Amino acid sequence: MTRLSVNINKIATLRNSRGGKIPNVLDAAINCQKFGAEGITVHPRPDERHITRKDVYDIKPHITTEFNIEGYPSDDFIKLVTDIQADQATLVPDEPGQLTSDHGWNTVKHHDFLVDVIGRLKAAGIRTSIFVDPDLHAVEGAAKVGADRIELYTEPYATMYPLDPDKAIAPFIDSAKLARQLNLGINAGHDLSLKNLKFLIDKIPYIDEVSIGHALIADALYLGLKNTIHEYLECIQP
Ligand SMILES: CC(=O)[C@@H](O)[C@H](O)COP(=O)(O)O
Ligand SMILES: NCC(=O)COP(=O)(O)O
ipTM: 0.97
Output the pLDDT for position 219.
98
Residues 6+ apart with CB under 8 A from 210: 2, 3, 4, 5, 187, 188, 189, 192, 197, 200, 201, 236
pTM, entire model: 0.98
Does 18 carry a binding-site annotation?
A: yes
Q: 75-83 and 111-123 are packed helices; what angle lies between their axes, rounded to 10 degrees?
A: 20
**Nearest ligand for residue 211 CA:** 2
Does 107 carry a binding-site annotation?
A: no
Residue extents of the structural domains in the chain = 3-236
**Nearest ligand for residue 104 CA:** 1
Atom number in ligand 2 closest to CA 187? 1
Options 2.40.30.10, 3.40.50.970, 1.10.260.40, 3.20.20.70; CATH for 3-236 is 3.20.20.70
Output the pLDDT for position 103.
96
Listed residue (103, 72, 110) closest to 89, CA to CA: 72
Mean pLDDT, each 10-residue run in order, the chain (238 residues): 98 97 98 98 98 98 98 98 98 95 97 98 98 98 98 98 98 98 98 98 98 98 98 93
Catalytic residues: 43, 70, 190
> What's the helix, strand, coil split of the chain in %, to 5?
45, 15, 35
Output the pLDDT for position 238.
72
End-to-end CA, the chain? 11
Listed residue (40, 89, 42, 90) closest to 62, CA to CA: 40
Tell me which residues have their CB closer than 6 angstroms to ligand 2.
7, 41, 70, 151, 189-192, 211-215
Q: How far is ligand 2, taken at its centre, from the CA of residue 9, in Å?
A: 9
d(CA 150, CA 219): 27
| Alpha carbon 80 to chain centroid, angstroms | 17
Residue type, 218: A
